[in-house]
Structure formats: C-alpha cells, structure tokens
Amino acid sequence: MITAIASIGAIAALAAMFGLLLGYSAIRFHVEGDPVADQVEVMLPQSQCGQCGYPGCRPYAEAVASGEAEISLCLPGGEGAMLAMAELLGREPAKMGEIAEKPKCVAVIDEQTCIGCTKCLQACPVDAIVGAAKQLHGILRSECTGCELCRAPCPVNSIRMEPIPETLATWKWPFPTYQRLPLPAAARIEHAPSVSAPVELEQREAA
C-alpha cells in the first residue's frame, strides 16, 4: 500500500515538475508570429499585387502556412516560388494557373495625359510613385515591382506597363536543349548549303 502511494506520489511530483518546466519554457522560448509564414514570405516576390486574392504577400504567406490557401496562386513568383513552397511545406507541386508567365514589367506614366490626381500614389504598395496634387507624377523604375495596382485607379488610363529590357547583366543562359546547329548566317549567304530543319528535342529531353 505504501509502495503504491509512494509511486503515485512520485509520478505526481514528476508530472508537476515537468508541467512547470514545460510551462516555463513555453513562456521563456515563446516565438512571436508564425515562423513558417515568415519562411514562406521570403519566397514570395513581395510585389504586394494581390493577384492571389489576399491583400498582400504577408497575408498570403500566412494563409499558405496555415494550409488554407493553394501554393500555386502567386503569379509573379511563378513556378519557382511554387516549387520552393512545395519543398518547404512538403506539399505536392500544384499546377500553375493557365495564365502564361508575363515578362517582368515596370509601370510608366504618360506625361501627356496625367492629371495629377494622386490616386496611383495611394495605390502603390511600395511608394514607387512620387508626385503631388495637380502635379505630374513619376514612377521610380528601380522601386516599381510591376504589380499593376496603380493602373486600375487611374481615371485617365495614363499608366502603361513596359517590359524591362534584357541587358548583358540580366541575360541568362538558356536551359540546354539539343538542336542541330543551324549554320552561321555568313556561311548561309555565301554557300547556301542545304540545312536540315532544327530538330526539336525538348520533349525527348523531358522524357
């Protein structure tokens, strides 16, 4: 009997001790916010465009982290962001939307038509538009994320999107695919040899 009481007492004491320890560490090592959402947020392009249906990148990251949103909703992030999220969350890579990936763009204000209403200033999520009431507005190219949020509020449709031209600094080598090499232009002109049509082997490459 005494043994039973002693053991119950010992277990109870242990339980209390561990309970206190756990309770203390929950306070001591408390993590503010959702660390998974933070990790997801880093993967998003931060254009704050809202194309995912959430009011910005942070809310979408939180929704993805809690499992209520699909990982394929971020269009500016494209396949890269989707694959990164799939990897992090251990989810199956989802199919991206039907919309083809657009080239990166920046917004440009047409100086002729801008009336200086400041509506686009208020819409820009990254403060990339400068201007004042009844003054011509300007867009800082280096800050613009190309989210297109400024286009809708413009009452005179004076904002257009311009693709960012590729430069030597931003050019990327293409993913290697086998093609029978077409002859250099100069040789074609001089000798005009028969050139077999380039063989597209991307499908075979993929298979």
Partner 1 sequence: MFSLLKKRHLSNATGRKRKLWQFHGGVHLPEEKHLSNGKPLRDAPLPAQLVIPLQQHIGAPARACVRVGERVLKGQLIGEPEGYISAPVHASSSGLVSAIEPRAAAHPSGLQVPCVVIETDGADQWAELPEPIMDYQAADAATLRQRIRDCGVVGMGGASFPSNVKLNPGADQPIDTLIINGVECEPYISCDDLLMRGQAADIIDGISIMLRVLGAKQCLVGIEDNKPEAILAMQQAVVLAATGKVIGRPRAGETGSNQISAKQIVKGQARNAFAERIQVVKIPTLYPSGGEKQLIKILTGKEVPSHGIPAQVGIVCQNVGTAKAVADAVLRGQPLIERLVTVSGRGVAHPCNSRVRVGSLASGLIAASGGYRGALAKLVIGGPMMGFRVDSDALPVTKATNCILALTPEESPDSGEPLACIRCGRCAEVCPANLLPQQMYWHARAKNLDKTQDYNLFDCIECGCCAHVCPSHIPLVQYYRYAKTESWAREREKRASEHARERHEAREARIERLERERQSMLRRKKEAIAPKSKAPKAAASTSTGAANDQGDPKKTAIEAARKRAAEKKAAAAKVVASTSEAAPKSAASQASGSAPASAPVFADEDQH
Q: What is the DSSP string of 166-205?
A: P-TTT--PPPP---PPPPPHHHHHHH----PPPPP-HHHH
For partner 1, the closer of residues 4 and 185 by Cβ is 185
**57 lies in the site for partner 1, by CB under 8 A:** yes
Contact between 91 and 68 under an 8 Å Cβ cutoff? The reply is: no
Strands of the chain (E only): list them. Answer: 105-109, 129-130, 138-139, 159-163
Q: Binding-site residue total for partner 1 (CB under 8 A)? A: 41
Contact assessment for residue 125 and residue 93, using Cβ atoms and an 8 Å cutoff: no
Spatial neighbors of 207 by CB under 8 A, at least 6 apart, are none
Residue 168 contacts partner 1 per CB under 8 A: yes
| Closer residue to partner 1, CB minimum distance, 156 or 195 | 195
Task: Tell me the window of 20-28, 91-99, 109-117, 123-131 that interacts with partner 1 (CB under 8 A).
Answer: 123-131
Instruction: Name which position in 35, 67, 80, 116 contacts partner 1 (CB under 8 A).
Output: 80
Residues 179-198 that bind partner 1 (CB under 8 A): 180-187, 190-191, 193
**Interface with partner 1 by CB under 8 A: which residues?**
41-42, 44-48, 56-57, 80, 125-128, 143, 145, 166-168, 170-176, 178, 180-187, 190-191, 193, 199, 201, 204
